[in-house]
Chains A and B, each alone.
Chain A
Amino acid sequence: AQSVTQLGSHVSVSEGALVLLRCNYSSSVPPYLFWYVQYPNQGLQLLLKYTSAATLVKGINGFEAEFKKSETSFHLTKPSAHMSDAAEYFCAVSGSSSASKIIFGSGTRLSIRP
């Protein structure tokens, strides 16, 4: 069985500050891990994914995430927040086979203060 826990339903940072969104996962098989972003009234868009290659993954819009097996974590970071980063962010986990289910976390809403 797999699950995802996103710590903090709402995170607020100042423009230019570090963004850190936390994600912990549980998986009985080697996981694939994803971060998706959802802007208001839109569908989800992939930010980045980990599929068992490099543990530090770089995505779009300056975001990156590091897979830490010992901590079962896949936290999302960005060095300097921009107003356009305000959105809902979802962490997701699946197995590595095509039969795997993809499980989403409950999301973290990121707000940016001017």
Chain B
Amino acid sequence: EAGVVQSPRYKIIEKKQPVAFWCNPISGHNTLYWYLQNLGQGPELLIRYENEEAVDDSQLPKDRFSAERLKGVDSTLKIQPAELGDSAVYLCASSPRGGQTYTGELFFGEGSRLTVL
């Protein structure tokens, strides 16, 4: 079974440029998360999807960040325009969440490391 796939693994851009990250979750996982991980820190939730619906986007900086999961499968996270402080690793995770199947376990991708110059 394939794991969570993210691309690109690494991205270097200049400030004020746009950037997008893509995530394909494990097949059958209806819940998808985007996390931000700063250097030396734990992951912080940006947004959580249940199928196509964003059920928790309270920590997403909506002035420059946007996300979509149009068909309830893969997802894209976009930053426009990027700032120096956005340099971090963006992690995608999925889980077979909901109802009787909730275990709390997250399955993570390898992350997309963003460097803003």
Which residues does A use to contact B, with CB under 8 Å? 4, 9, 32, 34, 36, 41-46, 49, 51, 90, 92, 94, 96-102, 104-107
Contact = CB atoms under 8 A, between A and B. Distances in A.
B32 interface: no
B109 interface: yes
Interface residues of B, number: 25
B88 to A, nearest CB: 14
A74 B55 CA distance: 29
Contacts of B45: 101-102
Given A44-B108, A49-B103, A101-B56, A107 B91 contact: no
Interface stretch (B13-21, B62-70, B94-102): B94-102
B96 to A, nearest CB: 10
B104 A44 contact: no
A14 B106 CA distance: 31
A34 B40 CA distance: 19
Contacts of A99: 55
